[in-house]
Chain A
Amino acid sequence: MTSWPDLIFEKLREFGIRHVAYVPDAGLARLIELCQAADDMEPTVLTTEEEGIGILAGAWLGGERGALLMQSSGVGNCINALSLAKVCGFPLLMIVTMRGEWGEMNPWQIPMGQITGKTLQLAGVIVYEVTKPEAAAPTVEAAARICFNGGLAVAILLSQRMLGTKLFKD
């Protein structure tokens, strides 16, 4: 069976995503590799997640589409920058891998992980949670359509239920 990152990657392709801005996460490693290997994609590693909101707004101003990939801990870094997407009606597609949400071992991840979805919703972002690998690509498709047709900010949260939990063992 094709893995969920490969299927998400195909959806990004279908929707004409060129700019892929990211702060890495272990759960996103495969998807980032696929984007880096694609000749028609422009991957950009960020020092902090909110840079991606500006980059994707700029890309849209120049006629191109993008997606922002990050771990849930980065969502908090994005809040004020989200006003750029909201007030201007920029489409903003975010794929967020969760920490601190389900069976988390590291207590420092739990505060942000527990408020990630609610925080995004408070900031006006449409949120979809994905708990099963087979639902990931169809959710990206649904989210991308709403995002780019509606000029809206949409986040897909990939749960630790499907990613697995980091166990801090070698």
Chain B
Amino acid sequence: MEEENKLPRRAAIAQILAERQDTLVVTGLGSPTYDCAAVGDHPLNFYLWGAMGSAVTVGLGLALAQPKRRVLVVTGDGEMLMGLGALATVAMKGPNNLSILVIDNEHYGETGMQQTHTSAGVDLAGIALRCGFPQSVTVRQQAELDNAASILYMAKGPVVVVLKVSSARDPLVLPPWDGALLKSRFRQAVLGPQVF
């Protein structure tokens, strides 16, 4: 589907994360992890570097364990497509503190920019809605970004925002990939030093 997507991903994500406050952020492998790192490393970021399909389910478990905190999953269209069933699982649990931001460039950015299913019109926001998410929107315009941020941080979850972005490549910004470090750093930031 050749509807042109022009939103620059890094600027859009920076705008959204600028309002995160104490939100817990889980990022999906590949570009979403780099995008969030590019905004600035944060102990409340848990970056996935693999286990494709797992970002949403990690966010779900976290949201269930920390019901008073907002949890934001930042993933890509490729990973979301691999784990579509997770949308059904999230909908069934209905955590009101979980938000999913899908950075949709309609391509597999890590592997040579092959087209994904969303390029043919597969509607991730529509799938989430039909799973039973109370709110799920697709955003294409800069003017809609403020509203997207308010949905992600304020709306009763679970919510999905699909951000249709340009497929231009951004410079690599690599956060730590030591999984044990990321896990322990995150737990300490959420639970305090008594966890060790």
Binding site for B on A (CB under 8 A): 18-19, 42, 44-48, 50-64, 66, 80-81, 83-84, 87-90
Chain B residues whose CB sits within 8 angstroms of the CB of A54 once the complex forms = 51, 53-58, 60-61, 86
18 contacts between A and B (CB under 8 A): A19-B61, A46-B85, A54-B55, A54-B60, A55-B58, A58-B61, A58-B62, A58-B64, A61-B61, A61-B62, A61-B183, A62-B61, A63-B191, A64-B65, A83-B51, A84-B58, A87-B49, A89-B180
Q: Chain B 64-88, CB within 8 Å of chain A: the 1/0 string?
A: 1110000000000000000101101
A78 to chain B, nearest CB (A): 10
Q: Whole-angstrom distance between the alpha carbons of A112 and B83 in the complex? A: 22
Q: Whole-angstrom distance between the alpha carbons of A152 and B177 in the complex? A: 19
B154 to chain A, nearest CB (A): 21
B145 proximal to A (CB < 8 A): no
Residue in A51, A81, A83, A88 whose beta carbon sits within 8 Å of that of B89 in the complex: A51
B186 proximal to A (CB < 8 A): yes
Chain A residues whose CB sits within 8 angstroms of the CB of B186 once the complex forms = 61
CB <8 Å contact, A61 and B56: no
B14 proximal to A (CB < 8 A): no
A63 to chain B, nearest CB (A): 5
Q: Whole-angstrom distance between the alpha carbons of A89 and B48 in the complex? A: 13
B50 proximal to A (CB < 8 A): yes
CB <8 Å contact, B61 and A88: no
CB <8 Å contact, B179 and A63: no
CB <8 Å contact, B61 and A87: no
Name, among B179, B190, B195, the residue most crowded by chain A CB atoms within 10 Å (CB to CB): B179
CB <8 Å contact, B60 and A88: no
B49 to chain A, nearest CB (A): 8
CB <8 Å contact, A63 and B190: yes
CB <8 Å contact, A80 and B83: no
Chain B residues whose CB sits within 8 angstroms of the CB of A60 once the complex forms = 61, 65, 183, 187
